[in-house]
Amino acid sequence: MFNKLLFSERFESYSLQDFQKDFISGLIVGVIAIPLGMAFAIASGVKPEHGIYTTIIAGILISLFGGSRFQIGGPTGAFIPILFGVVITYGFENLLIAGFMAGIILLLMGIFKLGSLIKYIPRPVTIGFTTGIAVIIFVGQIPNFLGLSGVKNQEYFIDNVKEIWLHICSINLFSILTAFICFLMIMLTPKLFPKVPGPLIGLVVSTLVASFFFPSKVATIGSTYGGIPSQLPSFHFPEVTFEKIQLLMKPAFVIAILGAIESLLSAVVADGMTNKKHNSNRELVGQGIANIVTPLFGGIPATGAIARTATNIKSGAVSPLSGIIHGVVVLIVLLLFAPFASKIPLASMAPILMVVAWNMSERHVFIHLLKTKTGDSFVLLTTFLLTVFINLTVAVQAGLVLAVIIFIKRMSDIMVIKKALPNLEHKNNKIESLIEPNPRTCPQISIYNIEGPLFFGAAQSFEQSIMNTINYKPKVLLLRMGKVPFMDTTGASNFSSIVNHFSKNGTVIISGIKEQPKQVLQKMGLYDQIGEENFFAHTGDAIDYALTKLDRDICAGCKRFAFNECHALSKESKIEREHTHSTVTQY
């Protein structure tokens, strides 16, 4: 079973040539992941080595147990605002517990096959909070870019902006020069040397320039956080209590949901680039295992990294082995070169994160959705603003609620209830909706075309539409329900009101009803109340049956002729009426 889990079809026909491709791609992605891991950790409010630990442990475990053969896992920019808020509010030890709990939640989501549910989160919500996170990351790196001194990191965006403004006079020109050199290398390297990772070159070049030309003039990792240990931390199980579980359940749930969204989005991107298909539930299991184990070694929460996964694919990766190699590469670098990392200026890390923020902002999609000026634009803007000025938890909750409300409104608007009659000029007497008032309307049979889902959002308007348009009680109410795809219990309840109202003096007939609405009516007892004999697959048969329920006295002399049969009915009823009158006169 274990071998099947690790060495499934993803390693079938695996060759030495495939290993060479995986080795090269793993090496490239591993080198790229080192500066990013440290940068994400620092921006999250923890020491840089914790980002390295996460890259190693989570990267290997996600590749081993995940559902995408190309996924590269590790710390990501999306987590920065959440993790920073947890560290500020609860402390680093509790961040590890929250990450551990998030891992359990992810594991359970995968086991109970909830991976497919993530796709139901509306795109305006994901774009809104992703762009909001990008803004937070970008602004959060301004102090390091400018070399501001005395700036205290705050939990809320507006407080951080105030801190920047208060200390703007402490700009360090050496920090700006260092950051600009790193930024220049990040921009130029892909154009000059496409296969060389720009962030690493920018980090190395700017660090060398700062170390040789103006040492001690800029803040470094060593001067701010101390040296990075050249070893993995020992296993440590955090002290978990019931009180801490209660305290950290909300942030843990947010970490789990965001981790699930990010990892599955990354897997979908990988599918699009490779024409392969990932297993969403297995991916959540892999993410869960990684996030359970990583905190035990001092690592922060991790998820699938879209940019690194894309780089992995572009570098020629064939299997999950490239992700495992990427983790091993980072481990080797940690063991051999950790002391040198302490010399890296914080100003060199700032442009790396700023570029990450710029790339993750999805600004083109954001602007396009904003220009549509629809309900989606409102959801997008609300989610974005709440992410920036309050927090991601509130933003996602509000965004989802708004999206649901707008969806319900749209679905209720789709509901169409129109009076209808056969078009006698059409060769098949096609039933068509009428424009009221219409002189052909039958005084005894009312036909309605009903289109759209009959659910709680549209149920009341459904009932009112029929009640308001019928100012009399017909002998027969025929409801054409072939275009009602769905009915819930609220819709059935309002449907019951109509049935009860019209059944007192006439007959309710249903034609073309689909299986799901029919099952709801059966469960609610309405099917038996209406009577099985009053359900028809075709409207023509329903009309033939309805004509047998008419009051012939009303048909006598009627000139509306709503149906083909009306001419004969009117004539027959008139003759019968005259015959009855003459018989009564004789007596």
Alpha-carbon dihedral 520, 524, 527, 531, rounded to 10 degrees: -170
What is the enclosing helix (H) or strand (E) of 422?
strand 416-422
What pLDDT score does 516 carry?
94
Domains and CATH numbers, the chain: 18-221+251-403 (no CATH), 415-550 (3.30.750.24)
State how far the Cα of 103 lies from the Cα of 284, in Å rounded to an integer.
9
Following DSSP, what letter does each residue of 277-318 receive, concatenated?
A: ---HHHHHHHHHHHHHHGGGGTPPP-EE-HHHHHHHHHTT--
CA distance 206 to 498: 76
Ranges of residues in the chain with a pLDDT under 70 are 1-12, 426-429, 434-439, 469-472, 570-587
Pair 35, 231: CB distance under 8 Å: no
Determine the residue type at 137: I
| Model pLDDT, residue 573 | 55
Residues 6 or more apart in contact with residue 404 via CB below 8 angstroms: none
List, for residues 467-484, the tens digit of each pLDDT value. 776 666 788 899 999 999
pLDDT per residue over 335-356, tens digit each? 888 888 888 899 998 998 898 8
> Residue 472 has what pLDDT?
64
Residue 228 is predicted with a pLDDT of 85
Record the pTM: 0.79
Note the pLDDT of residue 548: 86
